[in-house]
Chain A
Amino acid sequence: MKYIDDFRDPATAKALVARIRRDAGDAPVRLMEVCGTHTVAIARGGIRPLLSGAVTMLSGPGCPVCVTPDGYIDAAIALGMDRGALLASFGDMLRVPGKSSSIEKEKGNGLEVRVVYSPLDAVTLAAAAPDREVVFLGVGFETTAPAIGGAIRTAAERGVGNFSVLSSVRTIPEAMGVLAADPEVRIEGFLCPAHVSVVIGTDAYRPVARRHGIPCVVAGFEPLDILMGISMLLRQRKEGVARVENEYSRVATAAGNRKAQDLVRDAFVPCDTGWRGIGVIPGSGLRIADRYASFDAEKKFGVPVVFAREKTACRCGDVLKGKILPVDCPLFGKACVPEEPYGPCMVSSEGSCAAYYKYGAP
Chain B
Amino acid sequence: MCLGVPAKILETGDGTAVVELGGVRREISVMLIDDVSVGEWVIVHAGFAIEKLSEAAAEQTLALFREIAES
Within 8 A of B (CB), among A301-352: 348, 350
On whether the beta carbons of B4 and A195 are closer than 8 Å, the reply is yes
Within 8 A of A (CB), among B47-71: 47-48, 50-55, 57-58, 60-62, 64-66, 68-69, 71
On whether the beta carbons of A251 and B61 are closer than 8 Å, the reply is no
CA distance A15 to B71 in the complex (A): 8
Q: Which residues of B contact A250 (CB under 8 A)?
A: 53-55, 57-58, 61
Stretch at the interface among A69-77, A139-147, A280-288, A291-299: A139-147
Secondary structure type dominating chain B contacts: mixed
CA distance A91 to B46 in the complex (A): 12
On whether the beta carbons of B41 and A257 are closer than 8 Å, the reply is no
The listed residue (A3, A16, A118, A144) touching B2 by CB distance below 8 A is: A144
Q: Which residues of A contact B68 (CB under 8 A)?
A: 12, 15-16, 19
CA distance A28 to B59 in the complex (A): 32
On whether the beta carbons of A251 and B54 are closer than 8 Å, the reply is yes
Q: How many chain B residues touch A (Cβ–Cβ < 8 Å)? A: 35
CB of B54 to closest CB in A, whole Å: 5
The listed residue (B3, B29, B58) touching A3 by CB distance below 8 A is: B58
Q: Using A9-B65, A263-B32, A350-B2 as known contacts, say yes or no to A146 and B48 having CB atoms under 8 A apart.
A: yes
Within 8 A of B (CB), among A255-302: 257, 259-260, 263
Most buried by A among B1, B29, B52, B61: B1
Q: Using A118-B46, A120-B47 as known contacts, say yes or no to A65 and B1 having CB atoms under 8 A apart.
A: yes
Q: Which residues of B contact A118 (CB under 8 A)?
A: 28-29, 46-48
Q: Using A6-B58, A120-B29, A150-B29 as known contacts, say yes or no to A12 and B66 having CB atoms under 8 A apart.
A: yes
Q: Residues on B close to A: CB < 8 A?
A: 1-6, 28-29, 31-34, 41, 43, 45-48, 50-55, 57-58, 60-62, 64-66, 68-69, 71
Q: Residues on A close to B: CB < 8 A?
A: 1-4, 6-7, 9, 11-12, 15-16, 19, 35-37, 62-65, 90-93, 117-121, 139-141, 143-144, 146-147, 150, 194-195, 198-199, 221, 224, 228, 247, 249-252, 257, 259-260, 263, 348, 350
